[in-house]
Amino acid sequence: MTDILLLILSIVCLLGGLVGAFLPLPGPPLSLAGLFLLHYSKYADFSKNTLIFFTIVTIGMSVLDYYAPIWGTKKFGGTKYGMWGSTLGLLVGLFVIPAIGMFIGAFLGAFLGEIIGGSNASKALKAAIGSFIGLITGIVGKVILCLAMLILGGIALIETKPRESGKAKNCQC
């Protein structure tokens, strides 16, 4: 019974992680939790190195996802005003329009931040585009990571025969 619960929770986490790669949910950490839940069930057995690898990549992706819009703003000529605007816009956008607000918020935040900082509209637009590209880059990275964990979990379920849990059963039928 415990193994079935772990299996169901792992599938929910792995699929929820993929959805969270697009929406304002912690996608990669959810997918990672799904891998660990699956690992501790009798349905899959991942190596220690695999779990460590995905843990490190998930931490790195979480950091990258936060900084990608800031990096994009800076790379496209934005200033600290645009970077702060992008960050604040992203956070506000998450709450105002949850599904697409982070895109609009990061873009408008970078644009308005640059305007407030004294940049002309052309430079502000360029910085806003950079913020948007950074945000999309972070999302693509999260989707790839979550898909990799989902595929790994799926392969493990297909290829691994369930391990016996508890005592070995001796049946002489």
d(CA 120, CA 49) in angstroms, rounded, equals: 51
SS (H, E, C) 74-128: HHCCCCHHHHHHHHHHHHHHHHHCCCCHHHHHHHHHHHHHHHHCCCCHHHHHHHH
Asked whether the predicted pLDDT for residue 17 surpasses 90, the reply is yes
SS (H, E, C) 13-35: HHHHHHHHCCCCCCHHHHHHHHH
Which amino acid is present at 18? Answer: L
Q: What is the pLDDT of residue 171?
A: 39
Q: What is the pLDDT of residue 168?
A: 41
HSE-CB at 83 with a 13 A cutoff on CA atoms is 13
The residue ranking higher by pLDDT, 158 or 144, is 144
Q: What is the pLDDT of residue 154?
A: 93
Q: 121-159 vs 48-75: helix axis angle to the nearest 10? A: 170
Residue 170 phi, psi dihedral angles, 5° rounding: -105, 110
DSSP 172: -
- When the pLDDT of each residue in the chain is averaged and rounded to a whole number, the result is 87
Task: Please report, for the chain, how many H helices and E strands are present, in that order.
Answer: 6, 0
pLDDT digit string (tens) for 75-127?
Answer: 888 888 988 898 899 889 888 887 788 889 889 999 999 999 999 999 999 98
Q: Residues 37, 38, 44, 49: is their CA dihedral positive or negative?
A: negative
Asked whether the predicted pLDDT for residue 167 surpasses 70, the reply is no
pTM of this structure: 0.79
Question: What residue ranges do the domains of the chain occupy?
Answer: 2-159
